[in-house]
Amino acid sequence: MKHHPPQMFLDFFRWFCHPKMKKYIEGDLMELYDERLKKSGKKKADLRFIIDVLLLFRPGIIKPIEGYQQLNNYGMFKNYFKVGIRNILKHKAFSFINVSGLAIGMATCVLIMLYVMDELSYDKHFKDGHRIYRIASVVQDEKWVANPAPMAEGLKKDFPEVEQTTRLLRFPGAERMLLKDEQTRKQFFENNAYYVDSTFFELFNYDFKYGNPNTALREPNTIVISEQVAAKFFGNENPVGHVLKVGLSFGDFDYTIKGVFKDTKNKSHIPANLLLSMTNGDIGGWVQAQTDWASNSIFHTYVKLKEGSDATVFENKLADFLKRNGGKDLEATGTKKELFIQPLESIYLYSDYGYEVATNGNIKYIYIFTSIAAFLLLIACINFMNLSTARSEKRAREVGLRKVVGARKRALVSQFLSESVLMSLLALLLAVALIQLLLPIFNQLTSKELSLLQVPNVFAWLLALTIITGLISGTYPAFYLSSFKPVTVLKGKLLNTISAVAVRKSLVVFQFTISIILILGAIVISQQMKYLSNQGLGFNKNQQIILPIQTNEANKNSTTLANELLANSQVVNVTKGGTYPGIESVTSMLFYGEGKTALENVDVQTTYAEPGYIETLGIKLLQGRAFSKEFADDTNAVILNEEAVKQLGYTPDNTVGKKIFYEFQNQKHAMNVIGVVKDYHFQSLHQKIKPLMLTPAPFFGGPNQYLIANVKSTSYTELITAFEKKWKKINPESPFSYSFLDEDFQKNYIKEERTSQLIQYFTVIGIVIACMGLFGLATFIAEQRIKEIGVRKVLGASITQIVTLLSKDFLKLVIISIVISSPVAYYLMNKWLQGFAYRIDIQWWVFVLAGMVATLIAFCTVGYQAIKAALANPVKSLKSE
Amino acid sequence: MPFPDLAHLLILQIGINYSTMKKYQLGEFEEVVMLTVGILFEDAYGVSIKKEIETRLSRNVSVGALQTALKRLEDKGYLKSRDGEATEERAGRPKKYFQITALGKKAMEHTKSTRDELWKAIPKMALNLKISY
User: What are the tens digits of pLDDT across the range B81-97?
Assistant: 998 888 888 888 889 99
Higher pLDDT, A379 or A634: A379
What's the rounded Cα separation, in Å, for the pair B9 and B54?
Answer: 48
pLDDT at B131: 59
Residues A340, A241 share a domain: yes
Q: What is the predicted pLDDT for the residue at A492?
A: 67
Cβ-Cβ contacts under 8 Å for A252 (sequence gap 6 or more): A180, A245, A246, A551, A552
Q: CB distance B46–A24 less than 8 Å? A: yes
What is the average per-residue pLDDT within A564-589?
84
Q: How confident is the model at residue B55 (pLDDT cuts 50, 70, 90)?
A: very high
pTM: 0.72
pLDDT given at position A701: 60
Q: Which residues partner with A211 through β-bridges?
A: A259
Do A338 and A378 sit in the same domain of this protein?
no
Cα angle value A641/A643/A648 (rounded, 5°): 100
Please tell me if residue B72 touches chain A, with a CB cutoff of 8 Å.
yes
| Claim to verify: residue A166 and residue A302 sit in the same structural domain | yes
Residues A203-237, buried b or exposed e (16+ Cβ, 10 A)?
Answer: bbebebbbbebeebbeeebbbbbbbebbeebbeee
pLDDT above 50: residue B1: no
Residue A775 resides in a domain: yes
Q: Is the pLDDT of residue A494 over 80?
A: no
Question: Which of B30, B33, B51, B89 to mutate: most A Cβ within 10 Å?
Answer: B89
Domain membership of residue A809 (yes or no) is yes
pLDDT for the residue B10: 54
Report d(CA A749, CA A352) in Å as an integer: 14
A51 Cα to chain B: minimum distance (Å) = 9
Q: Is the pLDDT reported for residue B12 higher than 80?
A: no
Q: Is residue B11 scored above 70 in pLDDT?
A: no
CA closest to B66 among chain A residues: A56
Distance CA A315, CA A31 (A): 80
Nearest to A17 by CA among A34, A6, A29, A5: A29
User: Sorting pLDDT into bands at 50, 70 and 90, what band is A283?
Assistant: confident
Strands A637-641 and A705-711: unpaired
Rounded to an integer, the average pLDDT of A230-248 is 86
Distance CA B119, CA B127 (A): 10
Summarised one tens digit per residue, pLDDT across range A428-463 is 999 999 999 999 989 888 888 888 887 778 888 888
B67 interface with A at CB cutoff 8 Å: yes
Mean pLDDT score of chain A? 85
* Chain A residues with beta carbon closer than 8 angstroms to that of B47: 28, 31-32
**Shared domain check, A157 and A61:** no
Q: Do A55 and B68 touch (CB under 8 A)?
A: no
Q: Is residue A120 part of a domain?
A: no
How high is the pLDDT of residue B57? 92
Provide the shortest C-alpha distance from residue A518 to chain B (in Å).
Answer: 59
The verdict on a CB contact (< 8 Å) between A55 and B64 is yes
DSSP A626: -
Contact B95 A24 (CB under 8 A): yes
Same domain, A519 and A394: yes
Judged by a CB distance cut-off of 8 A, whether residue A860 touches chain B is no
Instruction: Sort residue A191 into left (φ over 0), alpha (ψ -120 to 50) or beta.
Output: beta
**What's the confidence (pLDDT) of residue B78?**
93
Q: Which of A3, A7, A26, A28 to mutate to test the interface with B (most CBs of B within 10 A)?
A: A28
Question: Higher model confidence: residue A342 or residue A292?
Answer: A342
Higher pLDDT, B39 or A737: B39
Q: Are residues A153 and A234 in the same domain?
A: yes
Q: Tell me what the mean pLDDT of segment A215-221 comes to.
A: 87
Q: Work out how many domains chain A is built from and give that number.
A: 4
Higher pLDDT, A108 or A684: A108
Taking CB atoms and an 8 Å cutoff, what residues of chain B touch A25? Answer: 46, 63, 67
| Residue B113 binned pLDDT confidence (cut-offs 50, 70, 90) | very high
Is A836 or A645 the better-scoring residue by pLDDT? A645
In the structure, what pLDDT confidence band is assigned to residue A133 with cuts at 50, 70 and 90? Answer: very high
What's the pLDDT at A427?
Answer: 92
Could you tell me which of A114, A523, A29 has the C-alpha nearest to residue B93?
Answer: A29
pLDDT of residue B15: 46
Query: Once rounded to an integer, what is the mean pLDDT over residues A463-485?
Result: 87
Q: Does B98 touch chain A (CB under 8 A)?
A: no
Integer CA distances (angstroms), A331 to A291, A322, A554, A667, in order: 15, 11, 42, 15
By CA distance, what is B82's nearest residue in A?
A24
Same domain, A144 and A269: yes
Q: Tell me if A39 is assigned to some domain.
A: yes
- DSSP structure class, residue A683: S
Three-state DSSP class for residue A62: strand
Q: Are A421 and A471 in contact (CB under 8 A)?
A: yes
The whole-number average pLDDT for the span A854-879 is 83
- Any idea of the CA torsion for A746, A751, A753, A759, to the nearest 10 degrees? 180
Q: To the nearest 10°, the Cα dihedral for A869, A870, A876, A877? A: 60
A120-138 b/e (C-beta count within 10 Å ≥ 16 → b): ebbbeebeebebbbbbbbe
Q: How confident is the model over A765-785, as a mean pLDDT?
A: 81
List pLDDT tens digits, range A357-382: 888 888 888 888 898 889 888 888 88
| Residue A139 binned pLDDT confidence (cut-offs 50, 70, 90) | confident
Strands (E), A733-793: 739-740
> H/E element holding B80?
strand B79-86
Q: Are A122 and A453 spatial neighbours (Cβ–Cβ below 8 Å)?
A: no
Nearest to B89 among A26, A34, A61 (CB): A34
Residues A691 and A555 in one domain: yes
What pairs with residue A62 in β-bridges? Answer: A17
Mean pLDDT of B116-122: 90
Nearest CA in chain A to B71: A60
Percent of all residues in chain A with a pLDDT value above 90, rounded to a whole number:
8
Compute the distance between CA of residue A497 and CA of residue A549 in angstroms, rounded to an integer. 77
Nearest CA in chain A to B46: A28
What is the band of A67 on the pLDDT scale with cuts at 50, 70, 90? low
Same domain? A700 vs A612? yes
Please report the pLDDT score of residue A392 as a whole number: 77
Does residue A327 fall inside a structural domain? Answer: yes
Q: What is the mean pLDDT of residues A147-162?
A: 89
Closest listed residue to residue A494, CA positions, set A611, A394, A362: A394
CA A386 to each of CA A18, A426, A775, A806: distance values in angstroms, whole numbers, following the listed order: 40, 19, 11, 18
C-alpha to C-alpha distance for A111 and A106, rounded to whole angstroms = 9
Q: Which of A609, A643, A607, A642 is nearest to A624 (CA)?
A: A642
Return the amino acid letter for A226: S
Question: Is the domain of A321 the same as that of A182?
Answer: yes
Higher pLDDT, A611 or B103: B103
Could you say which of A24, A28, A60 has the minimum Cβ distance to residue B68? A60
Are residues A755 and A713 part of one domain? no
A124 occurs within a structural domain: no
Neighbour-count burial for B48-66, b at 16+ CB within 10 Å, e otherwise? bbbebbeeeeeeebebbbb
Q: What is the reported pLDDT for B17?
A: 47
**pLDDT tens digits along A473-482:** 888 888 888 8
The pLDDT of residue A121 is above 90:
no
State the pLDDT at residue B69: 93
Report the alpha-carbon distance of residue B129 to residue B69 in Å, rounded: 37
Single out the residue in A350, A377, A397 at which a domain terminates: A350
Residues of chain A with pLDDT > 70, as a percent, come to 96
Same domain, A170 and A285: yes
pLDDT over threshold 80, residue A560? yes
Beta-carbon separation of A27 and B64 below 8 A: no
Domain around A22: 7-71
Q: So what's the pLDDT on residue B19?
A: 47
State residue B39's pLDDT score. 94
Q: What is the mean pLDDT of residues B108-117?
A: 92
- A63 phi/psi in degrees, rounded to 5: -70, 150
- What pLDDT, on a 0 to 100 scale, did the predictor assign at position B130? 64
What would the mean pLDDT of A668-696 be, rounded to a whole number? 85
At residue B133 the predicted structure's pLDDT band, cuts being 50, 70 and 90, is very low
- Judge whether B24 and B112 are in contact, CB under 8 Å: no
Residue A109 domain-assigned (yes or no): no
- Domain assignment present for residue A82? The answer is no
Question: Length of chain B in residues, anyone?
Answer: 133
Query: What's the rounded Cα separation, in Å, for the pair A549 and A608?
Result: 14
The average pLDDT across A540-544 equals 87
- Summarize pLDDT for A714-748 with one digit per residue, the tens: 888 888 888 888 888 888 878 888 889 888 888 87
Amino acid A344: pLDDT: 92
